[in-house]
Amino acid sequence: MQRNIRNFCIIAHIDHGKSTLADQLIQTTGTLSKREMVDQVLDNMDLERERGITIKLQTVRLLYHAEDGQEYMLNLIDTPGHVDFSYEVSRSLAACEGALLVVDAVQGIEAQTLANVYLALEHNLAIIPVINKIDLPAADPERVKREIEDVIGIDAEEAILCSAKEGIGIAEILERIVSDVPAASGASEAPLRALIFDSFYDDYRGVITYLRVVDGSLEPGMKVRMMATGKEFEVDDVGVFTPPMLSLPQLTAGQVGYMAASIKNVKDTQVGDTITLAKGGAKGPLAGYKKVMPMVFCGLYPVDTVQYEDLRTALDKLQLNDASLVYEPETSEALGFGFRCGFLGLLHMEVIQERLEREYDLDLITTAPNTVYQATLVDGSVIRVDNPALLPAESKLESLAEPFVKASIIVPSDFIGNMMELAKERRGIFVNMDYLDTSRVVLTYELPLSEILYDFFDQLKSRSKGYASLDYEVVGYRESDLQRLDILINGEVLDALSTIVHKDRAYNKGKGLVERLRKIIPRQMFDVPLQAAIGNKIIARETVKALRKDVLSKCYGGDISRKRKLLEKQKEGKKRMKQVGSVEIPQEAFMAVLKVDD
Amino acid sequence: MASGLYIHVPFCRQKCAYCDFYSVAATPEAIERYLQLVVAEAELRGQGQTINTVFWGGGTPSLLSPRQISTVLDRVSRYFCVAQDAEITMEANPETLEQQGLVAYRQAGINRLSLGVQSLEPGLLPLLGRRHTAEQAQAAVSWAQAAGFSSLSCDLIYGIPGQTLASWQHDVQTLAACGVPHLSLYCLEVYEATPLGRAVAGGRVPRPDDDLSADMYDWARAYLPEQGLPQYEISNFARPGWECKHNINYWQNGEYLGLGPAACSYWQGVRDCNVRDLAAYEQQISCGRRPIGSSECLDERGAAAETVILGLRLNAGVDGIAFAQRFGYTLETAFGDVIEELLHKGWLVRTSRGYALAKKMQPIANSVFCSFLSDSNT
């Protein structure tokens, strides 16, 4: 059987049609009938479908009758397409032997594609180039083929021309998976070794692990051991995703599927760990993954303090499905009790925040995100600072370092100037420029992570008319001339608004921030001064003028109920604001720093 | 306590740009039909209740002829006991009035006229969607006075985009100089679902400036008392003795009955509003049913809060003695903590009979009102 198993994934930039192609494969192989298809079945979180992105890994088993008359088991392992989630991509690649490289016939290769192809090449995957959307009038498959050859250096002569939307090329793709992707490797007679590449929590069955059986086989009743944690479990159930879970008597070498073993704590099944037999297990584990460090942090606080415990419970539950989310309790003088949370990137942060509000019905204040700084103190010790408010006083600081990234920007050559200007504004250091072809280049820059956290991607898009694409990886810490910018509202420092900024930017940032806050904070019963300060020095000031008009003036022909309802609505609106001292501050004020141009 | 009767006339020649009251285009047939329905509703509702004030509001009540007004008043009087000295107000738009007609309205029983002047600045009237000119408005004032409407009120609007403090001062001064004994000054409220609201949202008309509006209000509240028109409510000024009794009844949280589509009633603890749509109104009445669109029965706490909120709109404030007589406990029992806090902040002041808004709080009274709403109500 093993020689009839093919494990593959799809590598594509956002919007290049990965989900549509996956749907076509599922439908063409008859895994799901048309009636059962919800559009883009692999993106099954509401948020994913709304945003058109894949966040959580999904897998599906396809049964395919090939032209050679044999039946093959094709396991498609989905990969996330956003830069925040490149860690998850490498997880799925480790479970595969091949990859479909999907490139848009109009847009060509993008930064994200490139990064993921390099990852796939590192994992020695067979790569099948697929040029998608050939039905579009502006499609130029020949140019895209040349690009694939020039940039990635793989033969694109045999690239499949496809339109997932129109169903063109799907049959050929299925045949090529059979012929080009090596049969699943692994020793069926050896002791069990299975690689965990994802997991989720089911309220009734405990943790469900997604795994790839490499050696041996796995079946219910077996006693298994997690090689990294040493925890042992009895297997309740194994099976595959069709995409609904389908129980099987066993999973054999080469197969991809799931295991349920009444595991109550998701931390017991670390992604990247190897499952083996409790007795007579394998000697060494499979190569795992290196643990990702969250690089983006923000504070999450309930608007209503009574929701603190609900927030904790919700974070606990989300972490069951998302090991990359970290959090610990923190206290803010302004906002009370909350959590400092760490994320893979900004999108990851937004997704978690939205899920907390939507799925757990929480009303949250999110503070502006920041990176993790390294502070060297005068006594020589080094501490990590993930909350600007906790940065030690200047007198105690020897130096400050911040994470830098290496960023690749692919852009039509017309926009090189704009990109360079943007990178310069963001303290970028030019590394390299390569022509992909006569009209497109890859620009390589080193930039502080903090500079690309906010609106860098939006700026990149708007200054390139949407053509630029971006990928980046953290390359390490570097010393920078940084200082903390505090905001005082009505004379009091509002700790949740403190940020760490570069010295050259402090003035503009402070000025921009108080101007923005003046627009966001509604007029109160008295004048409210807003100040930006570095240490004890005030560098900018604005005033929210006292409220002068707030009364319903008309009689409404005796419609008192309507009048009262307006007042009730107003009172409700006030309740959603955070009372800090005697000032009422709307939630969005805490994210104001994101919208400041300096 | 006095009780009022409100009759809503849902017809306009043209909808004003800022108005979100219910009204439709008028045809003579539609008006006749409507009048029959109002009388039918009065028959459904009337049990000989004593009525001290009648208020014809709209819409544009002055689209009804004096004969129509007189007929309806006569027929309605069969089902209610309208007091001999009842205040009977009619709202009127200047462009609908003629000198002769005004005499006839007076003979039909109207003894108080409320003129929708809104502005005397020619450039601002089209923006508001008003069809009259400044000259028509001033002519209407002098005709009304000539016709014997000693009880005459004018509505003026401030905070209109493009309106200057000087132009506002001119409006107020002109009407005060004409000897009008009652003025209602309303701040323009921009509702999204009106043509003006859409123009503001679309950036075609600037959003009214709150500070300028506040300056206009502050100026008028200082100026009018000097002219013998003291303020008696947040938006209302009158020569002593010429206050609007019908509206004072609202502010004292008194009882009233409303007839016509979209009219509201507060009777025996129940607030209800009639359906807004004329066709739906007709259908209900034709079936002999009261045309109620929404209804709520206030609990005692809710009624007490409304009594305070409405009462504070009056310069005289909320009457603690009347409150205690009505509810059987004192204001302090019901709202002691809130009142203490507001007195401490200087937002309320004590009066001989209760409490009133501090002067400075009149233009920003909503936060005071909100503090009397209980959280369970929200």
From B131, B61, B128, B68, select the one nearest B91 (Cα to Cα). Answer: B61
Which is higher by pLDDT, A239 or A273? Answer: A239
Interface residue of B250, B256, B362, B374 to substitute, partner A, most A CBs within 10 Å: B250
pLDDT surpasses 90 at A34 = no
Q: How far apart are CA B234 and CA B221, in angstroms?
A: 9
Q: For a pLDDT cut of 70, what percent of chain A falls above it?
A: 91
Confidence of residue A349 (pLDDT cuts 50, 70, 90): confident
What average pLDDT does range A417-437 have in this prediction? 93
Name the residue among B6, B217, B378 with its Cβ closest to that of A558: B6
Kindly give the pairing relationship between strand A397-412 and strand A373-377.
antiparallel
Phi/psi at A420 (nearest 5 deg)?
Answer: -65, -35
Residues of B in contact with A553 (CB under 8 A): 186-187, 189, 234-235
pLDDT (0 to 100) of residue A557 = 65
pLDDT surpasses 80 at A271 = no
What average pLDDT does range B83-96 have in this prediction? 94
pLDDT surpasses 90 at A489 = yes
What average pLDDT does range A375-400 have in this prediction? 93
Confidence of residue A439 (pLDDT cuts 50, 70, 90): confident
Residue A550 at interface with chain B, using a CB cutoff of 8 Å: yes
Residues of A in contact with B377 (CB under 8 A): 568
pLDDT (0 to 100) of residue A267 = 74
What number of residues does chain A have?
Answer: 598
ipTM of predicted assembly, 2 dp: 0.89
pLDDT surpasses 70 at B213 = yes
Q: For a pLDDT cut of 90, what percent of chain A falls above it?
A: 49
Q: Which residue has the tokens 């544009």?
A: B60
| One-letter identity of residue A171 | A
Interface residue of A549, A559, A563 to substitute, partner B, most B CBs within 10 Å: A549
CB spacing of A560 vs B377 below 8 angstroms: no
What average pLDDT does range B267-293 have in this prediction? 94
From A183, A498, A547, A199, select the one nearest A334 (Cα to Cα). Answer: A498
pLDDT (0 to 100) of residue B378 = 37
pTM, two decimal places: 0.72
Residue A50 at interface with chain B, using a CB cutoff of 8 Å: no
CB spacing of B247 vs A551 below 8 angstroms: no
Which is higher by pLDDT, A91 or A563? Answer: A563
Q: Which residue has the tokens 């302004």?
A: A334
What average pLDDT does range A376-393 have in this prediction? 93
Name the residue among A523, A554, A567 with its Cβ closest to that of B370: A567
CB spacing of B373 vs A564 below 8 angstroms: yes
Question: Residue A505, Cα to own-chain centre: how many angstroms?
Answer: 28
Q: How far apart are CA A298 and CA A367, in angstroms?
A: 6
Which is higher by pLDDT, A92 or A179? Answer: A179
Name the residue among B211, B263, B264 with its Cβ closest to that of A548: B211
Residue A519 at interface with chain B, using a CB cutoff of 8 Å: no
The shortest C-alpha distance from B189 to chain A (Å) reads 8
pLDDT (0 to 100) of residue A556 = 62
pLDDT (0 to 100) of residue A51 = 53
Interface of B with A in 132-161 (CB under 8 A): 159
CB spacing of B378 vs A558 below 8 angstroms: no
What average pLDDT does range A178-185 have in this prediction? 93
Measured torsion, CA atoms of residues B132, B134, B136, B139, in degrees rounded to the nearest 10: 150
Confidence of residue A50 (pLDDT cuts 50, 70, 90): low
What average pLDDT does range B145-153 have in this prediction? 96
| Token pair for B357 | 């808004």
pLDDT (0 to 100) of residue A44 = 54
pLDDT surpasses 70 at A57 = no
The shortest C-alpha distance from A593 to chain B (Å) reads 26
Interface residue of B155, B156, B370, B375 to substitute, partner A, most A CBs within 10 Å: B370
Confidence of residue A55 (pLDDT cuts 50, 70, 90): very low
DSSP assignment, residue B208?
P
Q: For a pLDDT cut of 90, what percent of chain B falls above it?
A: 85
pLDDT digit string, tens, across residues A447-485: 999 998 877 888 888 899 888 888 888 889 999 999 999
The shortest C-alpha distance from A529 to chain B (Å) reads 18
Cis amide bond preceding A220, omega within 30:
no
Q: How far apart are CA B206 and CA B212, in angstroms?
A: 13
pLDDT digit string, tens, across residues A497-525: 999 999 998 999 999 999 999 999 999 99
| One-letter identity of residue B9 | V
